[in-house]
Amino acid sequence: MHSPLLVGSALKERRSSVSADEYGLQLSQEHSLRLPDKEPVHGKLLGEALDSTTATYKITLMKTIIAHVRGGGGAFLSFDSILRGMIETIWIPVARFRLTLGHSDQLARFLDSVPEDIRLYGTFQTALSHLDMGRAAQDTILRYPLAVFLTPWFKAASVQHKKSVRPGSEAIRAADSGIYLPYDIEANGLRLDSAFIDYVAGNMALLEGWTDMCLVDYLQRRNPNVPAIPMKLRELDRPSLAIQRRFWKQAMQHVPRACFYTGRPLDPEKFHLDHFIPRRFVAHDRIWNLVPSLPEINLSKGVGVPDANLIPAMARVHFDAIVAVRQHSPEKWAHELREEYLDDLGVSPEVLAENASFAAAMSDTLQPLLNLARKRFPDWRGHPTLPHAVALR
């Protein structure tokens, strides 16, 4: 895990170093993110390498280099491995969480050939057989970022250099340029400088946090209406939902024990809690987005987005559960989950005791999130064996 203080500081400093092209601001060079120096590697120049990002290429390139060093790779990093590493870096944000990289970034287009079920539920390993990462693809993606990444070093030395290199037919070498470079571009890949490898290995946590925040910054600007983007670079941890299950088990002692989606009876020891709005979108387990369901219904729904007509029913079952738990288990109610309703719905305690006001607050919260989630995840209209269940709620 990266230190929140370290990562937060890196993001704060990087945001002060964005280019005029990105935000229309004119900022001085002194505000650039300053990574530590270790001769001959200048942290300032490495920090500048990820400024002015109009695509994810340079960020994913750096993350691929970091992963290569972390895995004990040698000095040579092939173009095949680079392209694979860059695509793997965006696999979770794009395939799992449906984030967009923007129209100018072509990395996400590689995933178009991967079947939908693999993108949503499979692994990157299972997707590999569907990806074309041959020389033509390498030429499309790698031609510019490999050379442009080196711009800060050439600029600092006042040396002109190529801004593009066709993989397999052109090269850039430190020996030919007469300056220090973190890597040479050879016929079939990159030759990492030994000092640069040591630098990456010695600053691994810092560089991982820095590149994470560069990627988060990039994704946030292109997905401004999507919540919790910092949590969407990797798979979400599997929730225990122990507190939430206790809440609903307590409520079921006083309200009908029924699956929210079908109305069928629930076993209070074996029911599932379903995220009404997909967890892949909201990235949390807050109580107001959870409903009890039959296990097979929850599993079939997956990341599907339910019908908005269910929002009033959602409000009703939550209101009934709140009343039951508050009356019969006031300590649990006050200390575990009450604040989630108050804070997230933006209501006063009085609203939790007034059915119509609570329903309005739930609708105001759920409807816009449902609309946004539907733009990224598939619709769900019920279990295949229960085609009319949802409509009947």
Residue range 33-51, pLDDT digits in tens: 689 999 999 999 999 999 8
Query: So where are the chain's domains?
Result: 4-232, 242-392
pLDDT at residue 13, rounded to an integer: 40
Cα 60 → chain centroid: 14
DSSP secondary structure, 327-355, as one string: HH-HHHIIIIIHHHHHHHHT--GGGGG-H
Q: What is the spatial distance between Cα 240 and Cα 219, in angstroms, rounded to a whole number? A: 28
| Nearest by Cα to 86 from 137, 148, 42, 51 | 137
**Tokens at 228, concatenated:** 């919790």
Which of helix, strand or coil describes residue 167?
coil
49-75 pLDDT per residue, tens: 998 889 999 999 999 999 999 999 999
213-256 pLDDT per residue, tens: 999 999 999 999 999 999 999 999 888 899 999 999 999 999 88
Q: Is the pLDDT of residue 113 over 50?
A: yes
Q: Is the pLDDT of residue 20 over 70?
A: no
Rounded mean pLDDT of the chain? 88
Q: Is the pLDDT of residue 98 over 70?
A: yes
Task: Return the minimum-mean-pLDDT range out of 6-15, 94-103, 143-152, 311-320.
Answer: 6-15
pLDDT at residue 29, rounded to an integer: 38
Q: Is the pLDDT of residue 21 over 70?
A: no
Q: Which residue has the higher pLDDT, 290 or 21?
A: 290
pLDDT at residue 327, rounded to an integer: 85
Which of helix, strand or coil describes residue 145?
helix
Rounded to the nearest 10 degrees, how much is the dihedral formed by the CA atoms of 223, 227, 230, 236?
A: -120
Q: CA-CA distances (angstroms) from residue 227 to 68, 283, 287, 305, 315? A: 30, 8, 17, 16, 22
Q: What is the spatial distance between Cα 98 and Cα 107, in angstroms, rounded to a whole number? A: 14
pLDDT at residue 24, rounded to an integer: 28
Q: Which residue has the higher pLDDT, 172 or 333?
A: 172
pLDDT at residue 332, rounded to an integer: 64
Q: Which residue has the higher pLDDT, 67 or 18?
A: 67
Q: Is the pLDDT of residue 4 over 70?
A: no
Q: Which residue has the higher pLDDT, 94 or 338?
A: 94
Average pLDDT over residues 284-303: 96
pLDDT at residue 329, rounded to an integer: 76
Instruction: For the chain, give the percent of residues with pLDDT over 70.
Output: 88
Residue 264 burial (CB count, 10 A):
13
pLDDT class of 124 with cuts at 50, 70, 90:
very high
pLDDT class of 12 with cuts at 50, 70, 90:
very low
Average pLDDT over residues 208-215: 96
Q: Is the pLDDT of residue 210 over 60?
A: yes
pLDDT at residue 238, rounded to an integer: 84
